[in-house]
Amino acid sequence: MTTVEANVKEVQHFIDGGYAASSDNQTFEVKNPATQEVIAVVAEATEEDVEKVCKAARLAFDSGPWRTMTVAERCAKIRRMADIILERKEEIARLEALDVGKPYSHAFTAEVPRAAHNLKFFADFVEQRGGETYPMEDAFLNYTRYEPVGVAGLITPWNAPFMLTTWKLGPALAAGNTIVIKPAEMTPLSVSLLGEIAKEAGIPDGVVNVVHGKGSVVGTAVTKNTDVDLISFTGSTATGKAIMRNGADSLKKFSFELGGKAANIVFEDADLEKAIPVSIQAAFLNSGQVCLAGSRILVQRSILDTFIEKFKAAAEALVVGDPQAEETKMGPLVSEEHFNKVKSYLDIAKEEGAQLVTGGSTPDLAAHIQNGYYLQPTVYVHDNPKARICQEEIFGPVVTIIPFDTEEEALQIANDTDYGLNGVVWTENLKRAHRISHGVRAGTIWVNCWFVRDLRAPFGGFKKSGIGREGGHHSLEFFTEAKNICIAL
Ligand code: NAD
């Protein structure tokens, strides 16, 4: 990545160990969502470029030495990548704030360190991993090897680009695969550095490649490419379906982490001193552009008024502003298109008869960010869980409080959605906590907490929130082929 003119970055593909423009020199622009200023000019790949990048990854896989080097050597290089990320933490966090509009403080303290941890965790995990043996009396011995699949296509979204890409890159690399990354076109800056970071860490050329462009063209071409053996995708449910269709002819492996519409269930015995601030985080972190957002807040009717009063005050106290400023807790939405989509739900809410508690318009902003895609933290109350604002993933700072009376009703509402990524439960009653956790059909349930992650634990969605699981051995199963060897003794 080099500077074209003051503050406008030139972003190129990273192919076979070096930066490269597109074969036809086509580019597209990326804007800062806080100001609408152009911040980058990005290479836009042609189908021919995608062929080239996938071929580079194929050759690097087939001819080695990445998959044939010792696990210790491979994992040392991945750990070195993690160290370089930490050395460049401030730069990467600044890029993430510039590109996504997320608060710099969050990128710096949470997401970039987590990205480094993603790599280090899987390097350590693979190095310490044992195998399986199945002796058949004294006659035969079976043992199992986990071999890399081949070329891994990693297609990632814009809401946490660097952290989510490394969440796939760590296990894919540690398992010995070679990689084609297709970052989200709206936010390519931080992810575009991964090729050079890999190279600096001593990872051979062709192992980590990055190709930029629109999902409908470049993402589709990566998905269809016959040199690519698997697609690990995080993004919307609609794109997941398209990828499955487009990858069918080449019969790829798929892992899908898709959308969500989590129920955050607050019972009357909840500790509101904890439930309110964490529910605020779950609603408005990254301007609500989080797949795990607790965007349906189910509140037991006996505490409804108290909850609304406290939640409203906390939402109104959030500092909305310049993502680069230390004190900012919420920045803009990622793009004009997404801003308009999120705002369209304000009209839908009105038509559906939802009651506005707070928000719903543009916050007061400093002069330099007046053009940004900002929306106030917005809270509705609605007693119809079937309403569109209660069913559809808005992916913005817009949440709905839905009252309920009984445990059964809470479960029924929580499960009345196409999604099943996660759920949150607030109660001091241990048996109820277990009952609700078992009853909610979702891949992760947080009880009296939210977004606490142990990277060994399975992560993924029920229903239309995904296929497969990431985390610990679940990631490794996806990024490897298990081979059984049976020896006559
Ligand atoms: P998106 O589906 O629009 O795009 C994600 C990626 O897919 C981008 O890189 C895009 O260029 C690419 N893409 C788009 N069309 C494609 C196609 N036809 N073929 C191949 N690739 C294509 O999603 P987004 O708007 O970037 O991200 C927001 C969505 O991601 C939300 O639904 C959110 O819930 C989901 N998400 C899920 C998780 C999770 O872990 N489950 C995490 C973060 C985000």
CB atoms near residue 357 (< 10 Å): 19
**Which amino acid belongs to residue 313?**
A
Q: pLDDT digit of tens for each residue in the chain (489 aa)?
A: 444 445 899 999 999 999 999 999 999 999 999 999 999 999 999 999 999 999 999 999 999 899 999 999 999 999 999 999 999 999 999 999 999 999 999 999 999 999 999 999 999 999 999 889 999 999 999 999 999 999 999 999 999 999 999 999 999 999 999 999 999 999 999 999 999 999 999 999 999 999 999 999 999 999 999 999 999 999 999 999 999 999 999 999 999 999 999 999 999 999 999 999 999 999 999 999 999 999 999 999 999 999 999 999 999 999 999 999 999 999 999 999 999 999 999 999 999 999 999 999 999 999 999 999 999 999 999 999 999 999 999 999 999 999 999 999 999 999 999 999 999 999 999 999 999 999 999 999 999 999 999 999 999 999 999 999 999 999 999 999 999 999 999
**Annotated catalytic residue 257:** yes
Determine whether the shortest distance from the Cβ of 257 to ligand 1 is under 6 A: yes
Token readout for 101 is 């509009």
Q: Where in the chain is the domain with CATH 3.40.605.10?
A: 9-258+465-486
Residues 6+ positions from 249 with CB-CB distance below 8 Å:
224
CB distance 221 to ligand 1 below 6 Å:
no
Cβ atoms < 10 Å from Cβ of 386: 10
Find out whether 184 and 156 touch, Cβ atoms under 8 Å: yes
Q: Boundaries of CATH 3.40.309.10 in the chain?
A: 263-447
Q: 334 CB under 6 A from ligand 1?
A: no
From 111, 185, 257, 393, the catalytic residue:
257
* CATH class of the region 263-447: alpha beta
The Å distance, Cα 90 to ligand 1 centre, comes to: 26
CA 300 to ligand 1 centroid distance, Å: 34
Q: Give the contacts of 295 (CB within 8 A, at least 6 positions apart).
A: 261, 262, 264, 283, 288, 393, 394, 398, 399, 400
421 lines ligand 1 (CB under 6 A): yes
Distance in angstroms (rounded) separating the CA atoms of residues 45 and 29: 13
Ordered DSSP codes for 198-266: HHHTTPPTTSEEE--S-IIIIIHHHHH-TT--EEEEES-HHHHHHHHHHHTTTT-EEEEE-----EEEE
Residue 327, helix vs strand vs coil: coil
Cα of 19 from ligand 1 centre, angstroms: 25
Region label for 202, one of left (φ > 0), alpha (ψ between -120 and 50) or beta (otherwise): left
Measure 132 CA to ligand 1 centroid, in angstroms: 36
Q: Could you please report the per-residue DSSP string of 70-113?
A: -HHHHHHHHHHHHHHHHHTHHHHHHHHHHHH---HHHIIIIIHH
ipTM (interface pTM): 0.96
Nearest C-alpha neighbor of 185 from the set 3, 338, 340: 338
Q: Phi first, then psi: what are they for 78, rounded to 5°?
A: -65, -40
Of the options 3.40.605.10, 3.90.105.10, 3.20.20.70, 3.40.50.2300, the CATH number for the domain spanning 9-258+465-486: 3.40.605.10
pLDDT digits (tens, 9 = 90+) for 297-316: 999 999 999 999 999 999 99
